[in-house]
Structure 1
């Protein structure tokens, strides 16, 4: 089964919202890594920078399976990439690299639906929904019910998402996580959704989650 890689890379160099520009040498290293990832996996990869904290980079792409990705992680090609980024990334502490997978191909677009890829939006919302295992089916049913409300608001961009494969343990219990991507003109455009009348219906999903994490991303120029 094809899976979607979701990797979060905190940068070692200080970057602020006032000056979010990435260093030229880092951009070149990211381009080199992108070329390797796409060559080995056979799929396209996307790079993003978090708007709230520009020192955090997101990498998404596809693999034929988790096992196929794990083979690459142990390969000499990946070891060379790790060495390439040894001074660029934070490897220890409470802000370090995290990497996991989502079920299926979250990039897939139905050609019969006239919507654009979320990854072409000026601002991309990345919403992590933390769902108790026993409420997974109820959450899925409710999200299917209200998904169109968000999609109507975020048009022309498709709403996409997937379940996290590697489960987290919280207080000794395994929990599910639904990761949702949606596109907007700006962060303010997204935040204004909560002030609309249809949002009153959409927010019914709150009853099936333990919590949320909401971040906003923008594509890194030259790395799409």
Structure 2
């Protein structure tokens, strides 16, 4: 099964939340980058813009393995890709380009399920759950117990999650990260979930995490 790449591209220029339209030069570079990535991996790639901070872009795509992607990162094709963004992307520092992988194919939907990809939604919830290594099994057990609550709220959009392959450290200890994607009609539609009665059970997963981060993504107009 393929794994998923998540690359975050922080633009050098600020993009206003009230006017998130990207410069044409950035659109052109993203279009070319998508072609390069898909040719190298043989799988689909999609590019999104964060709603809360429109200057953050997300490349999400599939590879046969993390090793296959890492080989590409050393290839001339990737150097060409990076050169496309040399004037538009921050590459270093706390707000620099980051790349990592999930152990799950986040795009594929079983046609017989009657569901649609979360990535077709107007607003895509990108939830990062930070879990201590010793609570990984307990967390996923609880998540599977309450997952249906979120699925009922987001139907017919699929809820899909995966574990981050590359581990981070927090307070000197390695920690796990569970990333969850789900689709909504809007950010407000997602926020309204917390006001429903079933959410009282769903929020039990909070007892198994050290912290979490919630952001929302949207498709970029003008990209194929």
Q: CA deviation at 1:66?
A: 0.9
1:13 match: 13
Q: Does the CA-based 8 Å contact 2:104-2:161 persist in structure 1?
A: no
1:57 aligned counterpart, secondary structure = strand
SS of equivalent residue, structure 2 residue 87: coil
Q: Give how far 1:211 is off.
A: 0.4
Matched-pair contact (CA < 8 Å) for 2:46–2:59: yes
Ranges in structure 1 where 5+ consecutive residues have no aligned partner: none
Partner of 1:65: 65
Query: Using the alignment, how far apart are the partners of 1:220 and 1:130 within structure 2?
Result: 28
CA distance in 2, matches of 1:159, 1:210: 22
For residues 106-145 of structure 1, the aligned pairs below 5 Å read: 106-145=106-145
- Matched residues in 1 for 2:81 and 2:112: separation? 39
Match of 1:40 in 2: 40
SS in 2 for 1:112: helix
Of the structure 1 ranges 110-119 and 200-209, higher mean CA displacement relative to structure 2 is found in 110-119
The 2-side partners of 1:128 and 1:214 are apart by: 7
CA distance in 2, matches of 1:59, 1:223: 12
CA positional deviation for 1:2? 2.1
**CA offsets 1:185-211 (integer angstroms, 9 cap, x no match):** 000000010000000000010110000
Shift of 1:109: 1.3
CA distance in 2, matches of 1:222, 1:152: 32
Cα-to-partner distance string for 1:77-106 (whole Å, 9 max, x where unaligned): 111111111001011222111110000312
Q: Is the 8 A contact 2:129 2:178 kept in 1?
A: yes
Deviation for aligned residue 1:49: 0.2
State the Cα distance separating 1:108 from its structure 2 match: 2.2
Which residue of structure 2 lines up, in the alignment, with residue 26 of structure 1?
26
Match of residue 3 from structure 1: 3
Partner of 2:81: 81
CA distance in 1, matches of 2:157, 2:81: 33
Q: CA RMSD in A?
A: 1.0
Q: TM-score under structure 1 normalisation?
A: 0.98
* Contact in 1 for aligned 2:115/2:156 (Cα 8 Å): yes
Distance of 2:104 and 2:57 partners within structure 1: 22
Please state how far the C-alpha of 1:113 moved relative to its aligned partner.
1.1
Instruction: After superposition, give the CA deviation of every residue in 1:1-21 in whole Å (9 maximum; x if it has no partner).
Output: 521001111001111102100
CA distance in 1, matches of 2:106, 2:53: 24
Greater alpha carbon shift after TM alignment, 76-85 vs 195-204:
76-85
Where structure 2 has 5 or more consecutive residues not aligned to the other structure, the ranges are none
SS at match of 1:192: helix
